[in-house]
């Protein structure tokens, strides 16, 4: 009989505030909710996106797609719909999420590698994405398709921004008369890459109109564009920032011209600024409403720069002029000085001013940890500058910065303060140890500097303690006290209920305590350290006098009872559940087993090539399993010390191994192993077989703990997350698991081999098709091919039946036997069935699915397109499929005579169908106009101020004129 096992599935994930894989985005609350808090922080958390209330420190929602395991690498917010967010992932996919309902609305898949940057256009109907694969793709959010791919950069895209200027029409007096959108133009796109280039693309003609070298010293890592598009800042290595002037007026006028002279330069280099830090920059973010921008690298500070006003720039220039004249009046005038004097005449023109006169460093914000991403926090009604900072240490902070206008005196230095932070729900550093309470309700996690107690059911952090560099921890019997072993060699006792440190014992004289284990009787604990000793500690209740009084209070103490000296550093130790044996793993790659009562040596276990990092003894005290840095797991018998089996377990060092207490066989011989290769594996120690591989973590797994009931396990990883995996009722059959793994491997290689090799012409082209073959598109293509074959067979059967009826002259001839699928679906026709299959395919995957079809299937598809046109079934989809297939197979279609005849029929039927739709729409519009006229005749008047729209337009025009940004162009 085939043995079956129960499957472990992911159930909870917590301990994360924000990961450093992606940027963060600030989202203010809508007006009806504005009173509840400061705003929301949208941050990446491995494969999920978390929405935090920054004021309360509460998790508002979690955006999780079950089909996605890749990490989030970029986030962008739509400017028209504040609840719509684009999220880019490591596998090159993009999902559009609706914040209100926390669900993915649209999925896109076009890039071959991780998304690095995303940007919406101002109308919110297009999205641009840049990736590590050096391509930029423009996506149409209405049609849900990739429009085209822009090639030109030679390294990953680091900056991306739509430049959509508004056409400026001059009035008679030379002033700005009105501002209208350019309807014909698709706008422009500004991109920067790690290849140190900055490119300006014309999206109407889909080609690059200008390229410059953005950084002189290597890579360009960040791009910031001013809100009024008058200029941009690029940043790279060595703290260098370049300022560029963007000629918006020339761009907007060029949008309506066909021929452009090459003399026009839209981007002009205005000079270089230098940051205080010499690290490479990561982001340059302009404030949407004020004259400030933030720039930062991977250090612990953010630099805030200010754009000076016109009057300030003029004052600065006047001051420089005055100093120069004073200098010249003292000494002799040279030819250069005379030239300077002539230049002074034009000094009033601030566009010629040195860039250091226009930009000034405002303040440097010192942060708690290294900065990964920042965003300006916009709060309604408040004039303060607020900056949201996401660190690499699992932390979000909000800083309040004093602006130039708020300074009491000009000589005052601007200041900042930390207003809010989200830090409690996670550790600042990697979790090194986990332990579960005896009732399986609480979890303790220990890291460098902090110790946290969690409620497993609610995932809430109950207690936080400050501790040393913790390496191991355990709950003491009763679950009231936690013992921690540190790198400094201290044993620390913490009281969970009072959140106090009870005692700290210098146990191993400054040597790291790598492992500790509570004795099965619960009366003592053993600690093993780098000082080559294992020390036994008894728990004693001592009466301690309360200071200033005669009263005494009971206090838990650790009292050393025995010591075991060994030949090398102790990395791990374990009591057998029957409390007779103590196994000790040493740095010399051996495991020694001692009798607990006499501390005499019982067994030596030789076999591992590298040190044993973890071990566990089964609950019947018959087996010991050891895991090592040599990637092997060894199962030994505790009666003779013989090695039952050596298993090549993982692709990297195996850091943890643990037996399941009470599995279905009741002998407790199933165990889990966790490794640096980011996987957890479930094993059967009797059959020496892998039961299940559990993927989910994005970093090496440092710690593993199994519940006392054996119903779940908890793991902690370098990706800062703590994950709970629960046993389900679903059964695992080993053969099926092996087949599944082989299929996954095959599918991953299949999609890469299916990617069409680009032609030599395609490689050099600036524009390409935004397509990518995935398993989903392949399966969709197979479904279309299957539906076409079924449909054609059915059409032939029906045609033969009609022909037989005509020849026999019997109109009541019995209908033929059709395919059971059509009958099961309600006796539908073949064309309706094919259309249903086509409609079920996502719009974003349709083109790639159609590419899977061989050319032999195209005539069948065209037959059905003709039927769709005749019966007016979903004309928009019909047209889309027809045009795409014609574009793809143009040469073959033109060369085939039968296809040409077929196309004539489709053209006639499509035109007739479109004419019918046009007439119908015209009739409806005319009817609506008549209804409108009838309402007006009946004197039904709405309470609407007709001049209101005109006044609003005038105000908006005035706002455009009063823009506060200095035009450096």
* 120-173 pLDDT tens trace: 998 889 999 999 989 999 999 988 888 889 988 999 999 999 998 765 554 444
Stated as kind and residue range, the H or E segment containing 713 is strand 712-717
Q: How many CB atoms lie within 10 A of CB 198?
A: 24
Degrees, nearest 5: CA angle 133-134-139: 90
- Mean pLDDT for the chain overall: 84
Mean pLDDT of 506-529: 90
Q: Which of 194-208, 505-519, 535-549 has the lowest mean pLDDT?
A: 535-549
The DSSP code for 23 is -
**Beta-bridge mates of residue 592:** 584, 604
* 383-412 pLDDT tens trace: 678 899 999 988 999 998 887 776 665 656
Please provide the DSSP assignment of 35-48 as one string: TT-S-EEEEEETTE
Instruction: Report pLDDT for 610.
Output: 93
Stated as kind and residue range, the H or E segment containing 870 is helix 858-871
Stated as kind and residue range, the H or E segment containing 865 is helix 858-871
Instruction: Report pLDDT for 170.
Output: 47
Distances 378 to 165, 375, 383, 384 between C-alpha atoms, Å: 24, 9, 9, 9
Q: Give me the helices (H) in 265-419, please.
A: 310-330, 335-344, 355-358
Instruction: Report pLDDT for 946.
Output: 54
pTM for the model stands at 0.85
Cα 197 to Cα 158: distance, rounded to the nearest angstrom: 10
Please provide the DSSP assignment of 708-772 as one string: TTSSEEEEEETTS-EEEEEEEEEEEEHHHHHHHHHHHHHHHHHHHHHSPPPPHHHHH-SEE----
Instruction: Report pLDDT for 409.
Output: 58
Instruction: Report pLDDT for 470.
Output: 93
* 229-239 pLDDT tens trace: 888 999 988 88
Contact of 279 with 299, CB cutoff 8 Å: yes
Chain centroid, CA 626 distance in Å: 36
Instruction: Report pLDDT for 664.
Output: 54
Cα 136 to Cα 868: distance, rounded to the nearest angstrom: 35
Instruction: Report pLDDT for 331.
Output: 67
Cα 222 to Cα 226: distance, rounded to the nearest angstrom: 13
Split at pLDDT 50, 70, 90, the class of 181 is: very low
Instruction: Report pLDDT for 951.
Output: 62
Mean pLDDT of 233-246: 89
pLDDT at 485 over 80: yes
Contact of 415 with 455, CB cutoff 8 Å: no
Q: What share of the chain in percent tops pLDDT 70?
A: 87
* 425-474 pLDDT tens trace: 889 999 999 999 999 999 999 999 899 999 999 989 998 999 889 999 99
Contact of 893 with 858, CB cutoff 8 Å: yes
Instruction: Report pLDDT for 949.
Output: 58
* 862-903 pLDDT tens trace: 888 888 888 888 888 888 888 888 888 888 888 888 887 888
Mean pLDDT of 542-547: 78
* 214-225 pLDDT tens trace: 888 888 999 999
Phi and psi angles of residue 137, each rounded to the nearest 5 degrees, phi first: -115, 135
Mean pLDDT of 680-707: 91
Contact of 725 with 680, CB cutoff 8 Å: yes
Instruction: Report pLDDT for 630.
Output: 92
Instruction: Report pLDDT for 963.
Output: 42
Contact of 904 with 943, CB cutoff 8 Å: no
């Amino acid at each position: 009989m085939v043995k079956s096992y129960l499957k472990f599935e992911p159930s909870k994930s917590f301990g994360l505030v924000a990961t450093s894989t992606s940027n963060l985005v600030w989202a203010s609350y809508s007006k009806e909710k504005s009173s509840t808090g400061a705003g929301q922080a949208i941050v990446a958390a491995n494969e999920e996106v978390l929405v935090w209330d920054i004021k309360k420190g509460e998790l508002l929602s979690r955006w999780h797609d079950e089909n996605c395991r890749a990490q989030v690498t970029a986030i962008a917010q739509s400017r028209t719909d504040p609840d719509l967010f684009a999220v880019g992932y490591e596998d090159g996919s993009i999902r559009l999420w609706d914040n209100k309902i926390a669900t993915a609305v649209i999925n896109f898949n076009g890039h071959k590698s991780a998304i690095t940057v995303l940007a919406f256009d101002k109308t919110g109907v297009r999205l641009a994405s840049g990736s590590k694969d050096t391509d930029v793709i423009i996506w149409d959010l209405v049609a849900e398709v990739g429009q085209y791919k822009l090639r030109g950069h030679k390294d990953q895209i680091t900056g991306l921004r739509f430049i959509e200027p508004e056409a400026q029409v001059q009035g008679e007096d030379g002033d700005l008369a009105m501002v209208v959108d350019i309807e014909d133009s698709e706008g422009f796109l500004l991109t920067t890459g790690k290849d140190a280039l900055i490119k300006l693309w014309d999206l109407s003609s889909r080609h690059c109109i200008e390229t410059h070298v953005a950084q002189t010293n290597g890579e360009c890592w960040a791009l910031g564009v001013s809100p009024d598009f008058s200029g941009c800042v690029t940043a790279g290595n060595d703290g260098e920032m370049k300022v560029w002037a963007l000629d918006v007026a020339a761009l907007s006028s060029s949008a309506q011209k066909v021929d452009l002279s090459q003399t026009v330069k839209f981007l002009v280099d205005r000079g270089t600024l230098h940051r205080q830090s010499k690290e490479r920059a990561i982001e340059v973010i302009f404030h949407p409403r004020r004259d400030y921008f933030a720039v930062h690298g991977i250090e612990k500070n953010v630099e805030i720069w200010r754009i000076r006003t016109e009057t300030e720039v003029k004052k600065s220039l006047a001051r420089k002029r005055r100093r120069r004249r004073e200098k010249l009046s003292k000494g002799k005038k040279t030819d250069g000085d005379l030239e300077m004097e002539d230049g002074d005449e034009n000094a009033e023109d601030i566009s010629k001013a040195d860039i250091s006169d226009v930009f000034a460093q405002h303040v440097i914000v010192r942060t708690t940890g290294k900065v990964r991403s920042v965003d300006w926090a916009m709060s309604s009604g408040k004039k303060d500058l607020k900056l949201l900072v996401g660190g690499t240490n699992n932390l979000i902070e909000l800083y309040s910065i004093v602006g130039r206008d708020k300074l009491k005196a000009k000589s005052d230095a601007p200041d900042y303060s930390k207003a809010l932070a989200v830090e409690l729900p996670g550790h600042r550093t990697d979790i090194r140890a986990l332990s579960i309470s005896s009732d399986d309700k609480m979890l303790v996690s220990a890291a460098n500097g902090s110790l946290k107690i969690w409620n497993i059911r609610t995932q809430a952090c109950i207690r936080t303690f400050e501790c040393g560099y913790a390496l191991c921890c355990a709950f003491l019997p009763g679950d009231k006290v936690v013992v921690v072993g540190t790198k400094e060699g201290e044993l620390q006792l913490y009281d969970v209920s009072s959140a106090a440190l009870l005692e700290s014992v210098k146990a191993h004289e400054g040597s790291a305590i790598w492992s500790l284990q509570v004795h099965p009787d619960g009366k003592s604990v053993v600690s093993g350290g780098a000082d080559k000793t294992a020390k036994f500690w008894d728990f004693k209740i001592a009466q301690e006098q309360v200071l200033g009084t005669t009263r005494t209070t009971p206090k838990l103490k650790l009292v050393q009872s025995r010591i075991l000296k060994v030949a090398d550093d102790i990395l791990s130790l374990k009591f057998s559940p029957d409390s007779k044996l103590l196994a000790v793993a040493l740095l010399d790659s051996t495991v020694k087993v001692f009798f607990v009562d006499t501390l005499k040596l019982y067994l030596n276990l030789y076999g591992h090539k590298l040190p044993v990092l973890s071990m566990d003894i089964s609950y019947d005290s018959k087996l010991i399993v050891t895991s090592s840095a040599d990637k092997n797991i060894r199962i030994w018998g505790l009666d003779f010390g013989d090695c039952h089996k050596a298993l090549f377990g993982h692709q990297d060092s195996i850091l943890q191994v643990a037996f399941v207490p009470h599995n279905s066989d009741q002998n407790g011989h199933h165990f889990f192993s966790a490794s640096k290769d980011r996987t957890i594996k479930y094993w059967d120690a009797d059959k020496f077989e892998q039961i299940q591989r559990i993927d989910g973590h994005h970093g090496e797994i440092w710690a593993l703990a199994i519940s006392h009931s054996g119903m779940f396990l908890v793991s902690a990883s370098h990706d800062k997350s703590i994950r709970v995996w629960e046993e389900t009722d679903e059964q695992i059959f080993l053969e099926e698991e092996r087949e599944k793994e082989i299929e996954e491997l095959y599918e991953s290689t299949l999609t890469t081999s299916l990617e069409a090799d680009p032609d030599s012409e395609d490689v050099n082209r600036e524009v390409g098709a935004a397509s990518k073959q995935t398993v989903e598109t392949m399966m969709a293509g197979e479904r279309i091919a299957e539906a076409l074959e079924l449909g054609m067979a059915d059409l032939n059967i029906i045609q033969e039946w009609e022909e037989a009826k005509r020849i026999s002259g019997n109109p009541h001839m019995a209908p033929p036997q059709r395919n059971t699928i059509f009958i099961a679906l309600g006796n539908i026709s073949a064309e309706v069935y094919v259309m249903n299959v086509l409609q079920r395919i996502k719009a974003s995957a349709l083109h790639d699915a159609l590419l899977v079809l061989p050319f032999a299937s195209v005539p069948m598809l065209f037959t059905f397109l003709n039927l769709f046109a005749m019966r007016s079934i979903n004309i928009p989809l019909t047209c889309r499929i027809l045009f795409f297939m014609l574009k793809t197979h143009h040469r073959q279609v033109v060369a085939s005579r039968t296809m040409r005849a077929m196309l004539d029929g489709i053209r006639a039927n499509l035109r007739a169908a479109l004419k019918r739709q046009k007439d119908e729409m015209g009739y409806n519009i005319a009817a609506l106009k008549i209804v409108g006229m009838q309402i007006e005749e009946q004197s039904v008047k709405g309470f609407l101020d007709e001049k209101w729209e005109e006044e609003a337009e005038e105000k908006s025009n005035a706002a455009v004129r009063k823009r506060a940004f200095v035009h450096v162009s």
